[in-house]
Amino acid sequence: MSLLWIIAGLLLIQSIFAFNNATKKSIEEIIKNAKPGHMELDPRYGHIFDTSFFQNYDSSRIAGGGWESEPHSRPYQVGLYVPTPTGTSFCGGSLIGPSTVLTAAHCVMNLNDQPIIIYIGAHNMPPLSTENAIQRQSTEVLMHPDWNALTIQNDIALIYLSENVSESDRVKYIPLPTNTTNIYVGREALVSGWGLPGDGHTSGSSVLREVTSKIISSVACRLAYMGAVQRTHICMSGEERRSTCRGDSGGALVIDGQVVGVVSFGTAAGCEVGWPPAFARVTSYVDWIRENM
């Protein structure tokens, strides 16, 4: 399978808003105009995998299999508006310390010379009012030095905040994994985000949504993506349409209150076809994160 197909499935929402007068735009204007665009699906995909097989799932429903989060129950979750030369992209991320957000490298790789606008402690996105969330801007972004956009390896990045954020009832730093040899197979994991609530949707969710599913083995996930998945990825089962979708990228995959994955990619065939969503495996990057946070 061509890697391009998978890249088409990167979970980033790309807006169609042109940024030619960017420096003059207010934050409000940027956010108001940040629209999810569309990504091309490869029409040949359906001939290789019989996706109709998966359509029988209709129960649980992030993508089709998710539900709205209890407001402020995921106090590490952040929303990112990323200005790029072709428009504003929306992504997720997680607060890992007073001045650092963990996200996916593909979310920030096209950043232009404007800061990322970051909302922390929000349930609605964009927040209903500025009192509903803490707003910060990025001062600097650090992508993993081995990030490779063609092979989607090492899809992890850090964003540094303009001003420190303290913990409160709505804001908490999420710890990094304490056991870096744990592979978590069979464990129930939770992922949240404001991405598309399903394949029939064109815009992200206005409220935070989440889904839980079991971690599958790297071997099973590698088969699903024909080699793109390495030991530095972690995947969960996409059964019962439980998956991430466009706009969820960069968000945390959580087990035992620790961030064990960063939302990276899914299949171009859709978010509700039962295919396993793939994440950057945080245990592989703990040293790099600690050195740089």
Q: Which residues are marked as active site?
A: 106, 155, 249
73 vs 179 by CB, closer to ligand NAG: 179
Pairing mode of beta strands 13-14, 87-97: antiparallel
71 vs 85 by CB, closer to ligand NAG: 85
- Within 1-60, the residues that bind ligand NAG by CB under 6 A are 21, 24
33 vs 203 by CB, closer to ligand NAG: 33
Residues with Cβ within 8 Å of 27's Cβ and at least 6 positions away in sequence, in order, are: 117, 135
The string of DSSP letters for 204-228 reads --SB-EEEEEEEEPHHHHHHHTTT-
* Site for ligand NAG contains 182 (CB under 6 A): yes
At its nearest, how many Å lie between ligand NAG and the CB of residue 23?
8
63 vs 254 by CB, closer to ligand NAG: 254
User: Among residues 139, 179, 217, 292, which is the contact residue for ligand NAG, using CB under 6 A?
Assistant: 179
25 vs 209 by CB, closer to ligand NAG: 25
Q: Which of 258, 293, 263 is nearest to 278 (CA)?
A: 263
37 vs 98 by CB, closer to ligand NAG: 98
CB 114 within 8 A of CB 83: yes
3-state DSSP percent of the chain in helix, strand and coil, to 5: 15, 30, 55
Start-to-end CA distance of the chain, whole Å, equals 36
At its nearest, how many Å lie between ligand NAG and the CB of residue 100?
6
At its nearest, how many Å lie between ligand NAG and the CB of residue 147?
22
Strands (E), the chain: 13-14, 67-68, 77-84, 87-97, 100-103, 117-120, 134-143, 157-161, 188-193, 209-216, 233-236, 252-255, 258-265, 278-281
* Site for ligand NAG contains 291 (CB under 6 A): no
- The CA-atom distances, in angstroms, between 154 and each of 27, 226, 257, 288 are 30, 17, 22, 11
Interface characters, 79-118, with ligand NAG (x: CB under 6 A):
------------------xxxx------------------
* Site for ligand NAG contains 258 (CB under 6 A): no
At its nearest, how many Å lie between ligand NAG and the CB of residue 160?
9
- Within 126-165, the residues that bind ligand NAG by CB under 6 A are 164
* Site for ligand NAG contains 177 (CB under 6 A): no
At its nearest, how many Å lie between ligand NAG and the CB of residue 143?
19
The alpha carbon of residue 254 and the mean position of all alpha carbons in its chain are separated, in whole angstroms, by: 12
Residues near ligand NAG (CB under 6 A)? 21, 24, 97-100, 164, 179, 181-182
